[in-house]
A and B are shown apart, each in its own frame.
Chain A
Amino acid sequence: MTEKKTTKGISRRNLLKAGAGMVGAAAGAGAITGFPAIHAAEEKVLRYLGTAVNQADDISKQLFADTGIKLEYISATTDDVTKRVLTQPNSFDVLDTEYFSLKKLIPSGNILPLDAKKIKEFDNITPIFTKGELPNGKKIGDQGTAPKKVMFVEGKGSTKFATSPTEWVTLIPTVYNADTLGIRPDLIKRPVTSWTELLNPEFKGKASILNIPSIGIMDAAMVVEAMGTHKYGDKGNMTKEEIDLTMKVMTEAKKAGQFRAFWKDFNESVNLMSSGETVIQSMWSPAVTKVRSMGIACTFQPLKEGYRSWASGFCASKGVTGAKLDWTYEFVNWFLSGFAGAYLNRQGYYSAVLSTAKAKMEPYEWAYWMEGKPAEKDIKAPDGSLLEKAGATRDGGSYEDRMGNVACWNAVMDENDYMVSKWNEFIAA
């Protein structure tokens, strides 16, 4: 500040200036909105960019009640979230994104890794993220962009991934799950145990796969490996030859009419399955739940070759400093403190800190969702609607059974460019 003191003492005007300056300094440069600093100090607003997975109204309401932080949700598809971070880094404060996109985000320098020391529950975060193993010590599959590979950067402001844990965390994990094929047991009428079934001619014209190249090709790779055609070094980072081979198998299946349609959007997958257009397809857990809540039988089928997993977490925009950064830590700490975790667990996802979520769930809920035990009472969704009647068990069983059988993680390949052009070729074939 360049203000000069006059001999007349402190004028009203100068006092105001100084006062504003001090509050402004306290609020820091966080007030990029240009609002008066005093306003920013009163209302804690965070612009939260992410896919809709975690953006529930119940969560933002509870957060506001507990901490006074108001969330402004900005939801977009996974691809658009990444696009937005790279092209408009100042249009959000908190970012909720998937680990696999970090390979693009971190080198850009547009996001701000968070300090593990300021995260209260950091040491209680499931070791899946920090060590790539279950709480019971079992190592799980790490093909693709497994979180442990991109969890830490070398130092504050670094754009290089660290090979061992450091203080600086790229994403504070929030939610993750293991994906597999969804099936219609009422129409298939026999057990399905392997990824090979996706290309089984028995389901000609009734199969579907996800039309997001980077994820679709991994489902395809699960099938190719299950058929015994090829054993991949890393399904999440294929060589050009492996991409060619995978797409060749898929192209032949497409030409033979195996696929009814490809889907790109959550609702499309629900429509395909519920209308009976498909009986077997790549799917996401909440989509299976949605089909089931329509009264239609649908199973998130565990398969012997394992699951394809994904995980997402929080970081901040590089433009976040001062008070806003403090709120961000406050928000992330709140998110890990139990309410949100329990909320996500009840939707069939998994929370990053299990102990706090467990404390906020009923014992019978925990037994059903996490321990794979038959439900003692009716299982309800967070909104109160009935998901499962008493006696049902979760598809795939317990946390250990599901997360313990992860084969690979959503990924961005080194040959991403080549892969996308091959995927376009596949669609055109």
Chain B
Amino acid sequence: MKALTKEKVAWLQATPMALVFAVFFLLPLLFVLIVSFWDYNDFEMIPTFTLRQYVQSFDGCITSLPSLCTTFATYLETIKLCFLVWAITLLIGFTLAYFLAFHVRTTTWRIALSLLCTIPFWTSNVIRMIAWIPLLGRNGLVNASLLKAGLISQPQEWLLYSEFSVVLALVHLFTFFMMVPILNSMLRIDPRLIEAARDGGASPWQTVWNVIIPLSKTGIVIGSIFVITIVMGDFVTVGVMGGQQIASAGKIIQARLDALQFPVGAANAVLLLIAVLLMMRGLTRAVDIRKEL
């Protein structure tokens, strides 16, 4: 028997993953796409082709401008939250990764400190979010301390059930996802490059800006992809921390599914997918991850 060519071996190696991917990801996705063009009544889906779900989702979006329709208003809100969370997790994640990569000397400490960053994941999502109430609530710790210190005369209501609390909870959760890929990139930077920069007379800031950031680009982009995709689809955290008063793209889908209106939920899922894919396209255009890896 002739030895398998290198190419064939590569295909074989990729097959198991490809199969899993096809059955549990591509196929369901295809169903979602198909269903989004179906019709429905109170209790069942009707397999006929219709564009009703899409037309309905953008109902009045053009005519009512400049005031925003539900879909536009929701996406604007979601994108805004997404941007804020992305910017803050990037700043914190980059700083943490920088500290771990260049200031912590031993691998043991690096691992130990990275593990500390996973603490937010040690309890369930629900408990974690309920725990914010005694902290940020009207009668919570933060308000009580500020009142006692005489810094405020009335409890601050914007601390909880606001965009602030949503962003806070999301940042608290997802900074880790930003930090790890950046750390990974930074650890692969040749220390001699940094020494060379220093020898060449670069200030620490110049080194960061001209050497470290360009060389951590892959990590930054991968971290950004994690954070953006999760935040765009999140409706649980936005729901609980926003007091269910802040719209999110995921929430619209959930409300539709709960009302058994599967096709319109599917159509909204497709729209969300398109939005996220466009953002991913933008990011991967900026940095060619495949080349960098």
A428 and B74 contacting across the interface, CB-CB below 8 Å = yes
A211–B140 Cα distance when bound, in Å, is: 24
Shortest distance between the CB of B65 and any CB in chain A (Å): 15
B245 and A424 contacting across the interface, CB-CB below 8 Å = no
List the one stretch of B1-9, B90-98, B174-182, B251-259 in contact with chain A.
B251-259
List the one stretch of B131-139, B209-217, B276-284 in contact with chain A.
B131-139
Is B29 an interface position by the 8 A CB rule?
Answer: no
B256 and A420 contacting across the interface, CB-CB below 8 Å = yes
Q: How many A-B residue pairs have CB under 8 A?
A: 95
A276 and B42 contacting across the interface, CB-CB below 8 Å = no
Extra contacts besides A104-B42, A424-B252 (15): CB < 8 Å? A79-B260, A86-B260, A105-B43, A214-B259, A254-B245, A260-B243, A261-B161, A262-B243, A262-B245, A268-B240, A271-B133, A276-B139, A412-B42, A420-B256, A421-B70
Most A C-beta atoms less than 10 A away, residue of B239, B242, B246: B239
User: 0/1 per residue, B52-95, Cβ < 8 Å to A?
Assistant: 00001001000000000010011001000000000000000000
**Given known contacts A107-B42, A416-B259, is B56 in contact with A421 (CB within 8 Å)?**
yes
Cβ contact of A277, chosen from B43, B138, B256, B261, cutoff 8 A: B138
Is A82 an interface position by the 8 A CB rule?
Answer: yes
User: 0/1 per residue, B142-177, Cβ < 8 Å to A?
Assistant: 000000000000000100110000000000000000
B70 and A424 contacting across the interface, CB-CB below 8 Å = yes
Shortest distance between the CB of A318 and any CB in chain B (Å): 14
Is A275 an interface position by the 8 A CB rule?
Answer: yes
Q: How large is the interface on B (under 10, 10 to 19, 20 to 34, 35 or more residues)?
A: 35 or more
A332–B251 Cα distance when bound, in Å, is: 38
Most B C-beta atoms less than 10 A away, residue of A108, A420, A423: A420
B138 and A276 contacting across the interface, CB-CB below 8 Å = yes
B-side contacts of A104, CB under 8 Å: 42-43, 260
A82–B261 Cα distance when bound, in Å, is: 12
A-side contacts of B242, CB under 8 Å: 261
A275–B160 Cα distance when bound, in Å, is: 12
A-side contacts of B256, CB under 8 Å: 420, 424
Closest chain B residue, CB of each to CB of A86: B43
Is A165 an interface position by the 8 A CB rule?
Answer: no
A205–B137 Cα distance when bound, in Å, is: 12
B255 and A428 contacting across the interface, CB-CB below 8 Å = no
Shortest distance between the CB of B150 and any CB in chain A (Å): 22
| Chain A 209-258 interface residues, beta-carbon cutoff 8 Å to B | 211-214, 254
22 residue pairs from A and B, CB less than 8 Å apart: A79-B259, A79-B260, A86-B44, A104-B260, A105-B43, A260-B157, A260-B243, A261-B242, A262-B245, A264-B239, A267-B130, A271-B130, A275-B138, A276-B137, A277-B133, A412-B42, A416-B42, A428-B70, A428-B73, A428-B74, A428-B247, A429-B73
Is B229 an interface position by the 8 A CB rule?
Answer: no
A-side contacts of B261, CB under 8 Å: 417, 420
Cβ contact of B260, chosen from A83, A277, A425, cutoff 8 A: A83
Is A99 an interface position by the 8 A CB rule?
Answer: no
User: 0/1 per residue, A70-103, Cβ < 8 Å to B?
Assistant: 0000000001101100100000000000000001
A-side contacts of B140, CB under 8 Å: 275
